[in-house]
Amino acid sequence: MKNIIILALLLSLCCCKEVRAQIVNQLLFSKTNGVYAMWDGTLVKTMGYSTTLSANIDLPSPTLVYNQGDSVKLTLWNKSQGAPHTIHLHGLDVDQQNDGVPQLSFTVHHDEKKDYHFVAPHAGTYIYHCHVVSTVHVQGGMYGMIIVRPTNGSTTQTWDNGYTYDQDMAWMMSEVDTTWHHDTIINHTHDTSQTTHTLPTNYTPQYFLVNGKSEQQLSGAGLAVNANVNEKIYLRLANIGYYGNRIVLPSALNTKIISSDGRPLPNLEQSDTVMLFPGERYGLLLEATGAITDSIQIEYFDLNTQAIQNTQNVPVQISGTVAVAELSNEQPSISCSVWPNPANTQVHLNVALLQSELLNGELLDINGRMVHQFSTFLAKGNTSLTLPITELGTGVYFLKLKTSAEQLVKKLIVEH
Amino acid sequence: MIHNRLCSGLKVMLVVLVFSGLLEDAKGITLVEKLYINRDSMEMVTGDKLPYLVFNRSTNFEQQNAVLELAVGDTLDLWIINTDTATHGFQIKSIMGTSLSIPAGDSVHLVQEFSNEGVYIYHDPQQYPYNLYLGLGGMIYVKNHLHERFYWNMKEHASNWNTTLVNGGTVSLNNYKPDYFTINGNSHPDINADSTARIEGNVGDTLILCIANTGRGIHSIHFHGYHAEILYSSKHSHHVGRSKDTFPIYPMETLELRLVPDKPGEYPVHDHNLVAISANSIYPNGMFSTILIAP
Ligand SMILES: [Cu+2]
Ligand SMILES: [Cu+2]
């Protein structure tokens, strides 16, 4: 036994019920010197936000993650050398002062640094984007996703008392029309006395993106869907383009549409097709009951003609648990023994890790409700953890332990 | 201003209540209306003029189609007078099974009872979809409440189509590239000057927005500041009850939304197909308006 860690869990046993609102200070730079490589190697000039001054402008801009109830101070430091910029917190319903709309809220001029103050509302999926000459600046790349997690920060629950899931994925759809990315447009002059702005005459995009990626890039990490049978995936979708999206999912994923625009749907909808229009977000719960190799199809259609202009496919690989065990000769990255079981006052976990890493643990009751959560950084090898359980009622619980590579579920019986 | 409108709204409803009280079957009142099909041209925000056709309440050409409003159970007694030199028609989508044909200079009479709350599109189905495209599409709102309400008839215009069509030319439906985007015939900044379109109210009020898309494009209306609830959706009845901040609307479809503002301020409501926030490529002269909420 290398380490003995007694987790001070007595206080936090009921942590899921507690409001863990935090004060979050965050800084974003706005810049217009982005050079973004499309899937075919074409370099496109972009504008966007970054968390450090030296970072490249990515497409989309970084995802901002908060917990419901967080008091956020989001600072925008404009380093664009040209036009003013703002942050519109799309869907967060912030007050007028912090809404990021020129004339109605403040704008941030070059070298200025100004703060947006808001409280992260309902857990859900939102967007942030610039609202200065919005048609140009959003197409230019000034957009990103905002994810608001439940009050307790859970990464396995959709919202307070919501659905539980095993992994979540977030896809932001957009398009790029390279004629809107010429230097004269991305670095357009800006006269503050001018109330109108001339746009390029046509919008006919050549690139159709999911998180800035397309074609073979969609097989890459972070986009392709990889899961096991009966694993629940919470898929967050957002459309920040100027086209419509029709998402067609393999029927074997048993898709349930559970939320939209940061709110649970009053009645969940079972459908393999989801339509997503500019500015909309949807939350889907996917759970395959059998192994599949397929893809999720994303169509991009012109809103004026409804003609499909492009289709992208994101691979889906759902493995049967048996198949994984047979195929894999690798040692599991985590193993754990639990004793005593049944237990009365406390339970000991002997966790063995292949490498030093962050271990995320959750204790779920028989209904899948999370009753306790912890995360702790553990060294490679064996570690003993002690979990007090005096506050838990008699019954069956599941202990879920997650490493970066896999997760392990142990059944635990509490008897008083 | 808001107060005045509210008062007049109440008076109208009082009259309705008195009337319905007097009627034996208490089924509602009969609303007598006349719609004139007028041809002239529409002045765009840029000053350009497009040949246009509209349903107006008189022979005076106005560039927005009349909104007809009834309560659930009311009957519409409607005359449609064709002042144009071409044959036109009349139909109420999903209410009337067949359409009425109206020869040039002629008129037709229609009596229709409305038993369900909702927003309905009336239009000219002749030469479909070209007479509709040229402007002949309006809305009927069937209400079941006393709340303050606003009306958006959303439509885009491909200026070259209007000229081509009135000169007997043909256009390709598959190559539709609108360059003007209007709400009740206006683009930003004129939408806010239209008191039937500009959403105004106080914190805690129940405000109703009736939307009809009489254009050919799909629009995706985004509210800043607030979520609103879908009360009626002609295309997706299962969307009723959803609370959202962005509302897509398909061509020839309608929505009824309820907004209960929880804070004061002035917030944009606009099409999030941001290309539609323009007129002849001038930003932001398109489908962009603001909500104004007093404390
Ligand atoms: Cu900007
Ligand atoms: Cu937005």
Rounded to two decimals, the ipTM of the complex is: 0.90
Q: Which residues contact A353 (CB under 8 A, 6 or more apart)?
A: A333, A334, A359, A378, A379, A380, A381, A383, A403
Average of pLDDT values for A405-413?
A: 76
pLDDT tens digits for A99-144?
999 999 999 999 999 999 999 999 999 999 999 999 999 999 999 9
% of chain A surpassing 90 pLDDT: 68
- pLDDT for position B83: 98
Please tell me the distance in Å from B263's CA to the nearest CA on chain A.
7
The CATH number of B4-144 is 2.60.40.420
Of A224, A271, A267, nearest to A246 by C-alpha is: A271
Domains of chain A: 21-160 (2.60.40.420), 173-191+203-326 (2.60.40.420), 334-414 (2.60.40.3080)
At CB < 8 Å, which residues of chain B contact A? 156, 173-178, 216-220, 222, 224-227, 238, 241-246, 248, 263-268, 271-275, 277-278, 281-285, 290
Which residues, in sequence order, are bridge partners of residue A395?
A414
Pick among B274, B288, B292, B293 to test the A interface (most A CBs inside 10 A): B274
- pLDDT for position B11: 37
Residue owning tokens 């496919």: A313
- pLDDT for position B23: 40
Pick among A106, A119, A135 to test the B interface (most B CBs inside 10 A): A135
Weakest mean pLDDT among A228-237, B66-75, B92-101, B126-135 = B92-101
Average of pLDDT values for A14-21?
A: 50
Q: Report residue A404's pLDDT band, with 50, 70 and 90 as the boundaries.
A: confident
Please tell me the distance in Å from B68's CA to the nearest CA on chain A.
27
> How far apart, in whole angstroms, are the C-alpha atoms of residue A11 and residue A34?
47
Q: Name the token pair of B26.
A: 């208490």
pLDDT tens digits for A290-324?
999 999 999 999 999 999 999 999 999 999 864 44
Helix (H, G, I), strand (E, B) or coil at A62: strand
The answer to whether A83 and A103 have CB atoms below 8 angstroms apart is: no
pLDDT tens digits for B170-229?
999 999 999 999 999 999 999 999 999 999 999 999 999 999 999 999 999 999 999 999
Q: Are strands B49-56 and B30-43 parallel, antiparallel or unpaired?
A: antiparallel
Taking an 8 Å cut-off on Cβ atoms, the answer to whether A104 and B266 are in contact is yes
Taking an 8 Å cut-off on Cβ atoms, the answer to whether A266 and B242 are in contact is yes
Length of chain A: 416
Q: Report residue A172's pLDDT band, with 50, 70 and 90 as the boundaries.
A: very high
- pLDDT for position A20: 60
> How far apart, in whole angstroms, are the C-alpha atoms of residue A96 and residue B267?
7
- pLDDT for position A361: 84
- pLDDT for position A330: 54
Ligand 1 mean position, distance from CA A110 (Å): 11
| C-alpha A35 chain-centroid distance | 24
Q: Which residues contact A325 (CB under 8 A, 6 or more apart)?
A: none
Q: Name the token pair of A148.
A: 């608001």
Phi, psi (5° rounding) for residue A160? -50, 125
pLDDT tens digits for A196-215?
999 999 999 999 999 999 99
- pLDDT for position A405: 75
pLDDT at A359 over 90: no
Buried b (16+ CB within 10 A) or exposed e, A13-39: bebbeeeeeeeeebbbbbbbebebebb
Cα dist from A177 to A45, A157, A203, A205, A279, whole Å: 11, 37, 7, 4, 18
Q: How is residue B192 annotated by DSSP?
A: G
Cα dist from A206 to A66, A144, A301, B247, whole Å: 34, 20, 12, 26
Taking an 8 Å cut-off on Cβ atoms, the answer to whether B275 and A279 are in contact is no
- pLDDT for position A93: 98
The answer to whether A387 and A7 have CB atoms below 8 angstroms apart is: yes
Q: What is the largest CA-CA distance in chain B?
A: 57
Q: Which residues contact B33 (CB under 8 A, 6 or more apart)?
A: B57, B66, B68, B76, B77, B78, B79
Average of pLDDT values for B137-166?
A: 97
The answer to whether A262 and A211 have CB atoms below 8 angstroms apart is: no
Helix (H, G, I), strand (E, B) or coil at A186: helix
pLDDT tens digits for A237-291?
999 999 999 999 999 999 999 999 999 999 999 999 999 999 999 999 999 999 9
Q: Where are the domains positioned within chain B? A: 4-144, 157-294
pLDDT at B7 over 70: no
The answer to whether B216 and B253 have CB atoms below 8 angstroms apart is: no
- pLDDT for position A344: 83
Q: What is the largest CA-CA distance in chain A?
A: 74
Q: Name the token pair of A27.
A: 């800084």
> How far apart, in whole angstroms, are the C-alpha atoms of residue B218 and residue A278?
10
- pLDDT for position B153: 98
pLDDT at B1 over 60: no
Q: Report residue B6's pLDDT band, with 50, 70 and 90 as the boundaries.
A: very low
Taking an 8 Å cut-off on Cβ atoms, the answer to whether A261 and B265 are in contact is no
Q: Per CATH, is B157-294 categorized as 2.60.40.420?
A: yes
> How far apart, in whole angstroms, are the C-alpha atoms of residue A186 and residue A183?
5
Q: Are strands A308-319 and A225-228 parallel, antiparallel or unpaired?
A: parallel
Average of pLDDT values for A65-69?
A: 97
Q: Which residues contact A342 (CB under 8 A, 6 or more apart)?
A: A413, A414, A415
Which residues, in sequence order, are bridge partners of residue A114?
A76
- pLDDT for position A110: 95
- pLDDT for position B48: 95
Q: Name the token pair of A35.
A: 């050079």
